[in-house]
């Protein structure tokens, strides 16, 4: 009944959590802000600028917009330097084989990610060839839980939202799929029980759903 699967990137196709965490941790430490893995969980699927606002909830001072821009730029430079460690080897066999099987079954595949680094990451993983469309932080004005990134992906594929199912690891992403009129599959344990249409423990399990 579906014609396409739209995948979130970070936390679904690959694991960049640790790199985002380390980069934000350095910024938080420089500003003397308390930051831990729990707060980091809230940054899943959230844009860079909004992530920084969440971190600043624990900040007593005030930053000018120039300073804010500078920190955002610094965070991304750090993050990009960590991404240098990423190679094809980080594109897991299970993910690769599952994507191939989905294509064999005739599904169109797309990326729906808030990240402005999505294409860079997909290139590092040598994963570009698996996707028919890439909708990311560079082609949207509103981030998840707004459905824009997924609606753009459907549009790129030439499909209606109801033809697409979304796979996500973040609460904001599942909310975005729902707001866009798409069914959703949650992976991992960051999405509250009952919010998504389906829930899987591992990536390959999607083959039992579609
Ligand atoms: C993904 C990640 C978020 C990150 C966002 C923006 O959604 O889950 O943690 O903040 O992308 O990433 P960017 O690469 O543009 O800084
Ligand atoms: Mg994610």
pLDDT tens digits, residue range 172-191? Answer: 999 999 999 999 999 998 89
Say which DSSP state 35 is in.
-
What are the distances in angstroms from CA 63 to CA 3, 53, 68, 104? 46, 11, 6, 51
Task: Using the mean position of ligand 1's atoms as its centre, give its distance from the Cα of residue 82 in Å.
Answer: 14
Q: Which two tokens stand for residue 170?
A: 């973040």
Tell whether pTM > 0.90: yes
What pLDDT is attached to residue 97?
98
Provide CB contacts within 8 A for 131, sequence distance 6+: 109, 110, 111, 122
What pLDDT is attached to residue 126?
98
What is the rounded distance in angstroms from the CA atom of residue 71 to the CA atom of residue 52? 9
What pLDDT is attached to residue 61?
93
- The number of the ligand 1 atom at minimal distance from the alpha carbon of 8 is 7
Protein residues with C-beta less than 5 angstroms from the ion ligand 2:
8, 10-11, 45, 169-170
Which residue ranges in the chain fall short of pLDDT 70? none
**Does residue 137's CB lie within 6 angstroms of at least one atom of ligand 1?**
yes
What pLDDT is attached to residue 1?
87
How many CB atoms sit inside 10 A of residue 59's CB? 15
What is the rounded distance in angstroms from the CA atom of residue 2 to the CA atom of residue 179? 18
Helices (H) and strands (E) in the chain, counts: 8, 6
Q: Is the peptide bond before 39 cis (omega within 30 degrees of 0)?
A: no
**Does residue 184's CB lie within 6 angstroms of at least one atom of ligand 1?**
no
| Residue 185: closest CA among 163, 172, 204, 200 | 200
What pLDDT is attached to residue 6?
98
**Is 144 among the annotated ligand-binding positions?**
yes
What is the rounded distance in angstroms from the CA atom of residue 10 to the CA atom of residue 16? 6
Dump pLDDT digits (tens) for 141-180.
999 999 999 999 999 999 999 999 999 999 999 999 999 9
Atom 9 of ligand 1 has which residue's CA nearest to it?
A: 44
Task: Using the mean position of ligand 2's atoms as its centre, give its distance from the Cα of residue 68 in Å.
Answer: 24
Q: How far apart are the first and last CA of the chain?
A: 8
- Classify residue 9 as left (phi > 0), alpha (psi -120 to 50) or beta: alpha
Residues forming the active site? 8, 10
What is the rounded distance in angstroms from the CA atom of residue 95 to the CA atom of residue 38? 26
Q: Which two tokens stand for residue 135?
A: 């909708």
Atom 2 of ligand 1 has which residue's CA nearest to it?
A: 45
**Is 65 among the annotated ligand-binding positions?**
no
């Amino acid at each position: 009944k579906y014609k396409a699967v739209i995948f979130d990137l970070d936390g679904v196709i690959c694991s960049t959590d640790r790199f985002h965490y380390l980069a934000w941790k350095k910024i938080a430490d420089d500003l003397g802000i308390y930051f831990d893995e729990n707060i980091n969980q809230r940054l899943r699927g959230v844009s860079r600028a909004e992530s920084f606002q969440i971190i600043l909830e624990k900040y007593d001072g005030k930053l000018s917009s120039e300073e804010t821009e500078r920190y955002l730029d610094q965070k991304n430079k750090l993050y990009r330097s960590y991404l240098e460690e990423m190679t094809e080897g980080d594109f897991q066999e299970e993910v690769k084989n599952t994507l191939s099987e989905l294509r064999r079954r005739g599904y169109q595949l797309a990326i729906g990610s808030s990240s402005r680094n999505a294409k860079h990451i997909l290139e590092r993983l040598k994963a570009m060839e698996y996707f028919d469309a890439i909708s990311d932080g560079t082609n949207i004005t509103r981030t998840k839980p707004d459905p824009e990134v997924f609606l753009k992906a459907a549009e790129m594929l030439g499909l209606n939202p109801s033809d697409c199912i979304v796979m996500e690891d973040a609460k904001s992403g599942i909310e975005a799929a729902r707001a866009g009129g798409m069914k959703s599959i949650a992976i991992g344990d960051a999405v509250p029980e009952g919010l998504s249409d389906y829930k899987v423990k591992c990536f390959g399990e999607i083959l039992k759903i579609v």
